[in-house]
Structure 1
C-alpha cells in the first residue's frame, strides 16, 4: 500500500473538481478522477501516469459507484480523501420546476454523496485514517429564490455531515464541509431552468432568471471566485490537520453567510421571550 496520500474526487472533469485534482497531483499526491466526461480528465491524467487514475462514472448508478471505490482501492490501496464534489443545479421557482429535475438534483448532490461515503468508510475505519470532504455551498447555509432545490440538497448535505463528523471522529476519521461562493467554473453553461415561468414570481425568482440570461455581461459580478486559487487554499486547509468542520471559500460566501447568521441571531434573540413558555409547567 502506498504511503502517498490518495484522493478520490468526483466531478473532476471541470470546474473546482478539475482544478483541485490538478493541484493535488502537482503536489505529488495520488488522485482518482471521477466524472461522466472522461476527455478533460484523461488529458490531465496523462501528465501523471503513475499517480492518476481516470474512472468514468455516473454517480447516481449504484454499480458504478461500487466499481469506482473498488478500482480506487485496487490501484492505490486506500482512499485518504473522498471529495464529494459532483453536483448539478436547476433554476426556477419551487412551483415552476419539474419533479424529475429536482429529484435528479437530490440524486446527484445528496444521495450519491451519501452512498459514496458509506462505501469509502469501511476502509477508512479499518485504517483509523481518512477524511470525507462534502462540497456544500453558501447556498447550503443561505437560500435564494429561484434556487430552492439546489439549496435544499446542500442543506441536507450539511445536516448529514454534522452528524457524520460526530459519528466518525471517535474512531480517528474526519468530515469537513466546504462552502464555496460563486466561482467561475463553467457551471453557468451547465445550469438550466426547469419548467415554465409563472409571472407572479417575476419579482423574486424572476430576478435570478434575468441575471442568468445576462450572465456574460454580469460574469464578473456573479462569479467573483477564481477556482484555481480555491483549489490551492482548499488543499492547504485539508492537509494541514484542520480543526474546522467548515471551510468557507470566497468573499461573497463570507458576506451571505454573515447575513444569514445575523438574521438567525435576531430570530433567536426574539424567541427568547416565549420559547420556554412551551415547556411543561413545573410543579410548585
Structure 2
C-alpha cells in the first residue's frame, strides 16, 4: 500500500456492508482515518448481513484507523452529530463518500409516498446536508473531496420504452440517483474555486451486494457483474491528489480507472 491518503479523514455512509464497507476498508488501507456511518450495528442488526461494528473491527484489525458512528441518515440531527463526532475525534473531514441509499421497487403509479420520502431523505437530502456540513472546513483548508455514489438507473429508459423500462420498478430509485447526479455537477461548479471536487461515480456493471442479491437484482455467481473492490478503487482514485482536477463529472468505475488524468488540470 502507498498510504496515499495518510493524514486524511473520510466519512463513508452506508458502511455496514456491501460497497460502503469495501470503500471504507480501501480508504483506510491507504492511510485515511475512516468515520463509518450506518444504522446496522451489533446491537441493532438489519435484515441483511453485515454491521458497522464488523466493518470497523476489520479495518482496525488490519492496522487501519476507523470509528463507528451509528447514524439514521434520514434524521437531520443525526447527520449533524455524525459530522460533529468526526471533527471531534479527528479534527477535520477531508473526504465525504455519500454511499448510503435505500431502495424500494414498485411502479411509480403505485408507489407508497412514505417510502418515496424515505428514499429521498437518505439518497438526496442526506448527501446535500452532509455536504453543507463538511464544506466550511474544506473551503477553509482549500481542499476536499465529495464522492456521491450513483447508478445506471439514473439514465433515461430507451425510447420507445424498453420492456425493462416499462416495468417501472426502478423509476423512483432512478429519480433519486438522477437528482444526486445533478446535485453533484451543480455543487462542483459552486466550489470549484475553493479547491473542493465533487463527482458522482457508479459501477460499470451491477455489483452483487447483500442488497442487490436480496432484491433479486442479481446473484452472487452472475459472471456479468463488477466486484465492489473495482468501484472502491475508482473512489480511492477520485479521493487522491492525482484527481485534483477531476470535478463535476458523472463517472463509471472501469472507464475512470482506464483514464489518464492530468494532475491539477480541469477535465
Aligned residues: 227
Q: Distance in 2 between matches of 1:247 and 1:189?
A: 24
Q: Distance in 2 between matches of 1:236 and 1:174?
A: 12
Structure 1 gap segments, 5+ residues each? 192-211, 252-284
Q: Distance in 1 between matches of 2:106 and 2:126?
A: 23
Q: Distance in 2 between matches of 1:151 and 1:79?
A: 29
Bigger Cα Rg: 1
* TM superposition shift of 1:246: 2.7
1:185 is matched with which residue?
Answer: 209
Query: What are the equivalent positions in structure 2 for 1:1-284 lying under 5 Å apart?
Result: 4-37=7-40, 38-47=52-61, 51-143=65-157, 144=165, 145-180=168-203, 181-189=205-213, 191=215, 212=216, 215-216=218-219, 220=222, 224-242=225-243, 243-244=245-246, 245-249=249-253
Q: Distance in 1 between matches of 2:9 and 2:116?
A: 33
Q: Given the superposition, is the C-alpha separation of residues 123 and 240 from structure 1 closer, same or farther in structure 2, using an over 3 Å criterion?
A: closer
Tell me which protein shows more helix as a share of its residues.
1
Q: Distance in 2 between matches of 1:98 and 1:69?
A: 31
* TM superposition shift of 1:240: 4.4
Q: Given the superposition, is the C-alpha separation of residues 134 and 233 from structure 1 closer, same or farther in structure 2, using an over 3 Å criterion?
A: closer
* TM superposition shift of 1:175: 0.5
Q: Distance in 1 between matches of 2:24 and 2:189?
A: 28
- Does the 8 A contact of 1:182 with 1:225 survive in 2? yes
* TM superposition shift of 1:110: 0.5
* TM superposition shift of 1:18: 0.3
* TM superposition shift of 1:190: 5.2
Q: Distance in 1 between matches of 2:253 and 2:59?
A: 26
2:265 is matched with which residue?
Answer: none
**Offset from partner CA, 1:199-224 (integer Å, 9 cap, x none):** xxxxxxxxxxxxx38x55x9516x61
* TM superposition shift of 1:41: 2.6
Q: Given the superposition, is the C-alpha separation of residues 11 and 81 from structure 1 closer, same or farther in structure 2, using an over 3 Å criterion?
A: same
- Does the 8 A contact of 2:202 with 2:231 survive in 1? no
| Cα RMSD after superposing both structures | 2.3
**Offset from partner CA, 1:22-67 (integer Å, 9 cap, x none):** 1111122211111111332342244267721111101111111111
What TM-score do the two structures reach when normalised by structure 2? 0.78
